[in-house]
Amino acid sequence: MISPLAYIHPEAVIGENCEIGPFCYIDKNVVIGDNNVLMNSVTILYGARIGNGNKFFPGAVISAIPQDLKFVGEETTTEIGDNNTFRENVTVNRGTAAKNKTVVGSKNLFMEGVHIAHDDIVGNECIIGNGTKLAGEVTIDDKAILSAHVLVHQFTRIGSYCMVGGGTKVAQDILPYSLIAREPAAYCGLNVVGLRRRGFEREIIDNIHKAYQIILQETGLLKDSLARVEAEIPMSPEIEYILDFIKTSKRSFIR
């Protein structure tokens, strides 16, 4: 299951039933779990911690040092969960002193040429399209979809169940459940199709829509709009998530 043309450092830890193709390079201080597939020419560098059942296509580079001039060689990691797919030429950098680790959850699809920078946190079941680039310390919550060639500014947070159109430049937080597109980036409504596909009930979708009507269309203070949502919209985990997301936003959010 391991090609004789692959290089594996003697200190690397490899789990059971892994396939490692020719010209792969696995560095020291690497731990790889069970049932992973590394096609040819995959590079796994120092500090990688990889779970089970992941698939890495040719040219993927995992846990390279950060592209951050503040990085001075500190001990950091790249932590990857289970059952992810990293297509051709995906790059994931390890952390810096800021968070000490870059984290990728489980069941994500990273299409060709995606870049995940230092200290990013990507949740579960996300789809990141071809050529999309995440700057440092970006957070993507579960089940978000970013189309091709999206550019995401550092420190930005992207909410769950959102859909970001191809070529969008993201410089502020993206609200959960939303559609974002255009230039400059703008809120284009709810991701209704995505929510229906994920099994959201119509009443919940309607309440999310009403909450965003209050938050995005009123011209008064944001805190007053949030108070009105709390008073008028039936509370649910989805509404609580929206309110907490906005209250804790550090970069404001795309409207």
Q: Are 33 and 52 in contact (CB under 8 A)?
A: yes
Measured torsion, CA atoms of residues 166, 168, 174, 176, in degrees rounded to the nearest 10? -10
What are the start-end ranges of the E strands in 73-162? 77-80, 85-86, 91-93, 101-104, 109-110, 115-116, 121-122, 127-128, 133-134, 139-140, 145-146, 151-152, 157-158
Q: Is 113 a catalytic residue?
A: no
Catalytic residue, from 27, 113, 115, 118: name it.
118
pTM: 0.97
Q: Is 136 a catalytic residue?
A: yes
Q: Are 202 and 187 in contact (CB under 8 A)?
A: no
Domain with CATH 2.160.10.10 in the chain: 7-140
For residue 218, the model assigns a pLDDT of 84
Catalytic residue, from 119, 120, 141, 173: name it.
119
Catalytic residue, from 51, 95, 136, 165: name it.
136
Query: The dihedral of CA 75, 81, 82, 87: what is its sign?
Result: negative
The domain made up of 195-247 has a fold known as Udp N-acetylglucosamine O-acyltransferase; Domain 2 (1.20.1180)
What CATH code would you report for 7-140? Answer: 2.160.10.10
- Show the low-confidence residues of the chain (pLDDT under 70): none
Domain with CATH 1.20.1180.10 in the chain: 195-247
Q: What percent of the chain has pLDDT over 70?
A: 100
For residue 219, the model assigns a pLDDT of 85
